[in-house]
Amino acid sequence: KVLFPLFILYGGSIFCIGYIETIEQLYILYSISEILLFTAVVLVHAYIQSIFSQEELTLASGSVST
C-alpha cells in the first residue's frame, strides 16, 4: 500500500523532469531559429543595400558621362 504513492511520486518526478527538459530543448531550438532568422534578415538587407548602391553608382556615372 505504501509502494503505490511512492510509485506515483517517482513517476511524477520523472514526468516533471522530462517536461522541463523538453521545454529547455524547445527554448534552445527557438533561440537557434531566432538567431538564424536574424542572420538571414541581416544578410538579405545587406544584399538589397548592395544592389541599390550599385544601381545608384551606375545612375550617377551615367549622369556624369552625359
| CA 50/CA 28 separation, integer angstroms | 33
Q: Distance between alpha carbon 62 and the CA centroid of its chain, in Å? A: 42
| CA 24/CA 2 separation, integer angstroms | 33
Amino acid at position 13, single letter: S
pLDDT of res. 36: 94
pLDDT of res. 47: 93
DSSP secondary structure letter of residue 63: H
Per-residue confidence band for 9, with pLDDT thresholds at 50, 70 and 90 = confident
Residue-wise pLDDT tens digits, 15-59: 888 888 888 999 999 999 999 999 999 999 999 999 888 877 777
